């Protein structure tokens, strides 16, 4: 029934999963200095570090990471601010059981610096997405999205904070749906059994 969470930094999405009583069996990081590791440890969640810098190739790093994950035999791998690009082989290995949270309304703004780019584009709305991980970066079937307004006074920091509050809402919800066997991947779409809303609009 368990979930392994992969982080690289702050770990606030991981914390949101823990706050929502998601059964997290371990938190793994590719960086020893990831702040979220201390948060997980303080909450009694086992942690481990697989430092990508110790490996000469992406494949060797992923082999070690995969061994660590498989040792834990999780039902789900949840990427939560995990800042490594994964090879297609790694995505295939966990196909249908690896989720990611991305700070934009995919397919808009894949990649980095989404808040700056949303502002630069003059977008009226922005948001976040939980999706299954596939070989193509930030392109897998979408489970749930939350939209937020972009305000005239926004900076990248204020916009990021507004989006992050919604990340903490949608990620636990998506993970719970997965664990409850309510997600059905149909081609490039995801259906939620019971028809719960897959697009939330926040006026926050
Ligand atoms: C979040 O904005 C997430 O969407 C992105 O990286 C950030 C991670 O934040 N993938 P945190 O480590 O969960 O606080």
Which two three-digit tokens encode residue 89?
């082989």
CB atoms inside a 10 Å sphere around CB 194: 8
Check whether 74 has a pLDDT greater than 70.
Answer: yes
**Cβ–ligand 1 contact at 172 (below 6 Å):** no
pLDDT tens for each residue of 163-197 = 999 999 999 999 999 999 999 999 999 999 998 99
For the question of whether the overall pTM of this predicted structure is more than 0.95, the answer is yes
Nearest to 5 by CA among 189, 171, 184: 171
Find out whether 119 and 150 touch, Cβ atoms under 8 Å.
Answer: yes
pLDDT score recorded for residue 41: 98
**Whose C-alpha lies nearest to ligand 1, atom 6?**
81
Give the Cα separation of 147 and 202 in Å (integer).
6
Which two three-digit tokens encode residue 203?
């006026």
- State the number of CA atoms in the 13 A half-sphere of 191 facing the CB: 6
Confidence band, pLDDT 50/70/90 cuts, at residue 204: confident
**Cβ–ligand 1 contact at 141 (below 6 Å):** no
Confidence band, pLDDT 50/70/90 cuts, at residue 111: very high
pLDDT tens for each residue of 141-164 = 999 999 999 999 999 999 999 999
CA 3 to chain centre: 12
Average pLDDT over residues 111-136: 97
Confidence band, pLDDT 50/70/90 cuts, at residue 75: very high
pLDDT tens for each residue of 3-39 = 999 999 999 999 999 999 999 999 999 999 999 999 9
Average pLDDT over residues 120-128: 98
Pocket test for ligand 1, best of 7, 22, 81, 114 (most atoms within 8 A of CB): 81
**Whose C-alpha lies nearest to ligand 1, atom 8?**
81
Name 27's Cβ contacts closer than 8 Å, sequence gap at least 6.
4, 5, 6, 7, 11, 14, 36, 37, 40, 45, 46, 47, 48
Which two three-digit tokens encode residue 74?
């999780």
**Cβ–ligand 1 contact at 115 (below 6 Å):** no
pLDDT score recorded for residue 203: 83
């Amino acid at each position: 029934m368990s979930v392994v969470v992969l982080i690289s930094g702050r770990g606030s999405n991981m914390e949101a999963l823990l706050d929502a009583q998601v059964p997290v069996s371990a938190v793994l990081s590719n960086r020893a200095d990831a702040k979220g590791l201390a948060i997980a440890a303080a909450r009694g969640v086992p942690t481990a570090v697989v430092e990508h810098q110790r490996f000469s190739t992406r494949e060797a790093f992923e082999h070690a990471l995969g061994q660590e994950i498989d040792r834990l035999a999780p039902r789900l791998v949840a990427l939560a601010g995990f800042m490594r690009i994964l090879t297609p082989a790694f995505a295939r290995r966990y196909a249908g059981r690896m989720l990611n949270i991305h700070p934009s309304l995919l397919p808009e703004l894949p990649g980095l610096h989404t808040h700056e780019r949303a502002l630069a584009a003059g977008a009226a709305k922005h948001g976040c997405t939980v999706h299954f991980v596939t070989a193509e970066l930030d392109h897998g079937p979408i489970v749930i999205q939350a939209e937020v307004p972009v305000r005239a006074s926004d900076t990248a920091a204020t916009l990021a904070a507004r989006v992050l509050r919604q990340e903490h809402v949608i990620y636990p919800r998506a993970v719970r749906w997965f664990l409850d066997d309510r997600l059905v991947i149909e081609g490039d779409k995801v259906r939620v059994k019971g028809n719960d809303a897959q697009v939330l609009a926040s006026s926050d």
